[in-house]
Structure 1
Amino acid sequence: MSGETIFTNARVVTETEVFDGTVVLRGPAIVAVERGRSRLAAALDLEGDLLIPGLVDVHTDNLEKHMMPRPGVRWSARAALLAHDAQVASAGVTTVLDALCVGEVEHADQREQMFREGVAELRALAPRGLLRAEHLLHLRCELSVATMQESFEPVADDPLVRMVSLMDHTPGAGQFADVERYVKRNARTLGMTEAEARAYVARRRETRDRVRDANRDAILARLAGRPIALASHDDRTEDEVAAWHASGVRISEFPVSLVAAEAAKRHGMAVVAGGPNIVRGGSHSGNVAAADLVARGLVDVFASDYIPSSMLASALLLHDRHGIALPRAIATISAEPARMVGLDDRGRIAPGLRADLVQVHLADGHPLVRQVWREGRRIA
């Protein structure tokens, strides 16, 4: 039939099973998922490769990395977005929530400028169909910054915003709880002596104590009743998790301790872990290993964090090393993150859903993304 695309001879990964089959698309949607091989001459032979749903990445700092490829080195925001878009698409990501930092800790970070330019370019390019993946916004609100609310307001009502995380990267909190470790690791990066770095930490902590609670309350009030996924970030203690849950937050993103992840699950919160953590075999900051969380059944979603290709790799590690069934493993990077941010039209291979699909060849156990389709159109 005219307008149909047929993929056959594929190992189709649905949300519940894996089978040799055929998937039929009509325009942007999946219209049939069948067992067995199509005999139609027009069917595209996928040569026994996996056919999985397009990946949904709810947190990536990758756009910021392209906008500032070296400390203090700025790149064109449009060129950075196009390069980032090509990279995520080639990793099998068909929906990406670009995680942009709201609130500039130090002017030298240039994050306020990157935030404004990143949002402007998304608004300019996405409606024109110039991006391969679908790009949405994840706003990383830095609660320890005095000007955070001022930065947040211009995008508070933007329809691109699907997720907001409430962060506190002050030395002595969350990911950077060990102040001595922070000082020793970052004094050189900050271009300071250790004494200067300690003074910097003291300033950060003073500002945080002054503005954090007011910033938190303002963001929660601003978003109350809206269909935006709310996440805490770098949770460390049971008390932190309980407080976030009581305030209406339902996602614990990148908990840094086993205790926090267990508390999140007890409260019915979804837990997001970073793909690089499990692929590398541990946290780059010395916090809890994602593999330990997986072993206890505490992870619902994997996000790329800062390496787009880590998503697919992490899901296959769940299957190969942790004995998790392939449909469940793939769901951590497709169906589950889609549900988390209210995108119920994608993330699964089923009739009536968006034709976001990825052909994956396993080369000695390593995933090779061969082709990617978004809404039935090939993008990589």
Structure 2
Amino acid sequence: MIITNVNLVLEDQTVKGSIEIEGGIIRTLSDTVSQLPQAIDGEDGWLMPGLIELHTDNLEKYFTPRPKVDWPPFSAMSAHDAQLVSSGITTVLDAVALGDYREGGKRHDNLDKLIETVIESQRRGVNRADHFLHLRCEVPHETTVGMFKRYAHLPDVHLVSLMDHAPGQRQFVNVQKYRDYYQGKYKFNDQQMATFEVEQRERSQVWSAPNREAICQYCREHNIPMASHDDATVAHVEESKALEMVIAEFPTTVAAAQASHALGLKVMMGAPNVVRGGSHSGNVAAHELAQLGVLDILSSDYYPSSLLDAIFRIAHDDRNEYSLATATQLATINPAQALQLDDRGVIAEGKRADLLLAHQRHDHTYATRVWREGKAVF
């Protein structure tokens, strides 16, 4: 298969030309336009590596599309998978939360079913994208380590992150933002919210440190990449480095992001943060970190199409020094390297032909065609 008349977004530059694919692998690149009649005309679009998504809970929306509505698992998985591929994502880590903020939380009810569906749909070969698992461990909870060990041995687990959403620190230094978020999410009245706050602080004090150490020790012993979450201070970052984290998910301050980047942790921010122009929690904006040159990875988080959109927004923002090639790295080679997925994430000879063809229409960028291992999936 030959794709021609495209702007090839390579690792460090963009080149007008063609690409030849055989057996699901990129065989040759050319800086000329092919005249062969069987070549696919890319119509002067951007041909990019398929995007790699490390942190999305988008699948949960399809499992429970409305309160008290459970959807058939494989139907939910198919719809989720199709949305990701149509956004240019060819490799995805579906994030599942271990440890809950409330007893009887709906996430726990769906956990086994969700994990089994991701694994089984991948095994059957019905997914358009490659799907793996990201275990998000809420450390201030008595059940977290037990739940983690229940799933950590699965070969589909490619990333583990550690979170503490207790009020007054990390993501929720601003306690009012914490109250706004959880009262909106759980419909607590003021008294219920006050009780919830006290419970979460107490759990954090008791469980956070020992759970963090136990989970990290297991991951180190089994070579599972780890990510910190919502680091806010240099001390948080130094702890993450000492525990051998490789990714800093959503640092909440400039100081934490700069320290993470300097210590070799890849700084990951949400693509919705880029598209919206700032954090919904009132924390540091991703475009600020791009201006400082310490933004390493983007994640679509809760909105899949934001990933491609954010790449082009960063590339076109004259306040930073990211070109389209280096902005594309944020959702391709950088996350691939963090997970040791050395066969993808870049357009180069010998790499997987996971590819995305993008065009701009009316000032918005769309994925118009997508291939996984050379097979058209969108």
- TM-score (ref. length: structure 2): 0.96
Q: Which residue of 1 aligns with 2:344?
A: 346
Q: Is 2:49 aligned against 1:53?
A: yes
Q: Which residue of 2 aligns with 1:361?
A: 359
Q: Which stretch of the first structure deviates more once superposed, 258-267 or 222-231?
A: 222-231
Q: Which residue of 2 aligns with 1:32?
A: 28
Counterparts of 1:200 and 1:354 in 2: how far apart (Å)?
A: 48
User: Is the 8 Å Cα contact of residues 184 and 194 (structure 1) preserved in structure 2?
Assistant: no
* Selected match of 2:146 from 147, 150, 157: 150
1:230 to 1:185, Cα distance in 2 relative to 1, 3 A:
closer
Counterparts of 1:188 and 1:138 in 2: how far apart (Å)?
A: 26
1:316 to 1:108, Cα distance in 2 relative to 1, 3 A:
same
Q: Which residue of 1 aligns with 2:290?
A: 294
Counterparts of 2:13 and 2:314 in 1: how far apart (Å)?
A: 16
Structure 2 gaps of 5+ residues are none
Counterparts of 1:121 and 1:70 in 2: how far apart (Å)?
A: 19
1:182 to 1:372, Cα distance in 2 relative to 1, 3 A:
same
Instruction: Report Cα offsets for 1:291-323 as digits up to 9, x if no partner.
Output: 111110110011111111111111101111145
SS at match of 1:97: strand
Q: Which residue of 1 aligns with 2:121?
A: 125
SS at match of 2:153: coil
Alignment of 1:270-285 (within 5 A): 270-285=266-281
Q: Which residue of 1 aligns with 2:330?
A: 332
Counterparts of 2:79 and 2:175 in 1: how far apart (Å)?
A: 36
Q: Is 2:86 aligned against 1:90?
A: yes
Q: Which residue of 2 aligns with 1:241?
A: 237
1:274 to 1:185, Cα distance in 2 relative to 1, 3 A:
closer
Superposed CA RMSD in Å reads 1.4
Aligned residues: 376
Query: How much has 1:267 moved relative to structure 2?
Result: 1.6
Alignment of 1:180-219 (within 5 A): 180-219=176-215
* Selected match of 1:264 from 244, 260, 266: 260
Q: Which residue of 1 aligns with 2:13?
A: 17
Report the AA paired with residue 139 of structure 2: L
Q: Which residue of 2 aligns with 1:229?
A: 225
Query: How much has 1:235 moved relative to structure 2?
Result: 0.7
User: Is the 8 Å Cα contact of residues 32 and 351 (structure 1) preserved in structure 2?
Assistant: yes
Query: How much has 1:364 moved relative to structure 2?
Result: 3.2
Query: How much has 1:289 moved relative to structure 2?
Result: 0.6
Query: How much has 1:120 moved relative to structure 2?
Result: 0.4
Query: How much has 1:28 moved relative to structure 2?
Result: 1.0
Counterparts of 1:176 and 1:69 in 2: how far apart (Å)?
A: 27
* Selected match of 2:2 from 1, 6, 24: 6
Query: How much has 1:183 moved relative to structure 2?
Result: 2.4
Query: How much has 1:184 moved relative to structure 2?
Result: 4.2
Counterparts of 1:348 and 1:280 in 2: how far apart (Å)?
A: 27
Counterparts of 1:229 and 1:74 in 2: how far apart (Å)?
A: 32
User: Is the 8 Å Cα contact of residues 282 and 290 (structure 1) preserved in structure 2?
Assistant: yes
Report the AA paired with residue 362 of structure 1: Q
Counterparts of 2:274 and 2:183 in 1: how far apart (Å)?
A: 28
Q: Which residue of 2 aligns with 1:114?
A: 110
SS at match of 1:224: helix
**Identity percentage over the alignment?**
39
Instruction: Report Cα offsets for 1:196-253 as digits up to 9, x if no partner.
Output: 2111110111122111111111101111143322110011111111111112112111
SS at match of 2:278: coil
SS at match of 2:267: strand
Query: How much has 1:75 moved relative to structure 2?
Result: 2.7
Q: Which residue of 1 aligns with 2:372?
A: 374
Deviating above 3 A after TM superposition, structure 1's stretches of 4 or more consecutive aligned residues are 70-74
Counterparts of 2:162 and 2:335 in 1: how far apart (Å)?
A: 18
Instruction: Report Cα offsets for 1:98-150 as digits up to 9, x if no partner.
Output: 11111122134311222211110112111111100000111101101110112
Q: Which residue of 1 aligns with 2:316?
A: 320
SS at match of 1:39: coil
Instruction: Report Cα offsets for 1:338-374 as digits up to 9, x if no partner.
Output: 1111111001111110000011111133111111000
User: Is the 8 Å Cα contact of residues 77 and 114 (structure 1) preserved in structure 2?
Assistant: no
Report the AA paired with residue 367 of structure 2: V
Q: Which stretch of the first structure deviates more once superposed, 317-326 or 348-357?
A: 317-326
Structure 1 gaps of 5+ residues are none
Counterparts of 1:176 and 1:165 in 2: how far apart (Å)?
A: 17
